[in-house]
Amino acid sequence: YPCVLALPSEEIPFGDALDWWTIPDRSNPQLRCYGEPSRNGYIVVSPEWNESKQPVYNYTENEHQMILRPLRDAMRRFSIDTDRIFVAGHFMGADAAWDLAFAHPDIWAGAIMIGAIAKKYIIQYWPNAKHIPTYFVNGEFDGENPMYLNASTWDNMLDDRKIDTMVTLYTGRGHDHFQEELPRIVQWMQIPTRKRMVAPDRFSVVTSRAGDRFFWWFETTQLNPDKLVHPLLEPDRWDEYEIEASLNRENNAVRIQKAAAKEFSIWLSPDMVDFSKKITIDAKGTTRRYDINGSTDTILQDVLGRADRQHPFWARIDTPLK
């Protein structure tokens, strides 16, 4: 089943976030749900990720883990289609959803942000939007003035033809939950192409936070520290690393052009390469050819960690190449 990860905020706690998406009939003993996601077979998950009375989203790695752990727990317990998981949120939860969408575009089929404001890493990571569809809903007279604070990020996204984004601005409305927008949001989610990119032929992403170190088949335990920015500190100048990788399916090859790390791992799956042939790995100019059959231990390790039973990785190559 497709899934919505609905992130609550201080104003809309997790129970209300579930109600916004599912619209349950609490007078019915069976608690039937009549919301558009329920009619279309979506599983809605709302994690209690924020601390009590937390006023703002802090853009920390710990908050990312508080959000992703419940999602992966739900993926282990229920039959969730890992190609159709949407991250969404209201207000502070929308800020978190926007940040997660750009920081880990390989996880999501799309992102829905209601009342979000672009700050910190979101502003830096906007080039990552080419890998994930986004849907924004804001009121013209929201107290934080989204027209001004989001303008540069929205302009960058809307001007780039490779980026799939929609911005809905309600004229004359303020800080609101916009329940009437739900049918259009679900209609947008139901577009057949709304599926995550499982194994793109090429990807290029930017990163400047220590926790944003895994993208598709690339993973490192530590990025180079020079350009990293601590989420609770305001740097004199923002900078970022670029990670770039590509697949050559004809030659059965994987190439890492830019890694921003001294050591990293390359994960391989049948979605990427043909295990019946020699596999060529090019890691920042060092090339090796391998006979790889895949490993049950690697598959189980990956499924245990990512909870993705549809597209598990079969093998892992660590650098420096041997």
CATH code of the domain covering residue 36: 3.40.50.1820
pLDDT at 300: 95
Tell whether 91 and 130 lie within a shared domain. yes
Helix (H, G, I), strand (E, B) or coil at 15: helix
For residues 163 and 136, the answer to whether their CB atoms sit within 8 Å is no
Tell whether 171 and 220 lie within a shared domain. no
Tell whether 234 and 297 lie within a shared domain. yes
Tell whether 153 and 11 lie within a shared domain. yes
Tell whether 124 and 80 lie within a shared domain. yes
User: What tokens appear for 137 in the block?
Assistant: 């809903």
Question: Is a pLDDT exceeding 70 seen at residue 322?
Answer: no
Q: Which domain holds residue 84?
A: 3-189
Q: What's the first-to-final CA gap in the chain, in angstroms? A: 41
Sign for the pseudo-dihedral over CA of 264, 256, 65, 309: negative
User: Distance (Å, rounded) from C-alpha 322 to C-alpha 257?
Assistant: 18
CA-closest candidate to residue 216, choices 232, 229, 203:
203
In this predicted model, what pLDDT tens digit does every residue of 144-197 receive, in sequence order?
777 888 999 999 999 999 999 999 999 988 888 899 999 999 999 999 999 999
Asked whether the whole model's pTM tops 0.85, one would answer: yes
Q: How many helices (H) and strands (E) does the chain have?
A: 9, 15
Q: What is the mean pLDDT of residues 288-295?
A: 88
Which residue among 189, 216, 245 closes a domain? 189
For residues 259 and 223, the answer to whether their CB atoms sit within 8 Å is no
Domains in the chain, number: 2
For residues 23 and 45, the answer to whether their CB atoms sit within 8 Å is no
Tell whether 147 and 271 lie within a shared domain. no
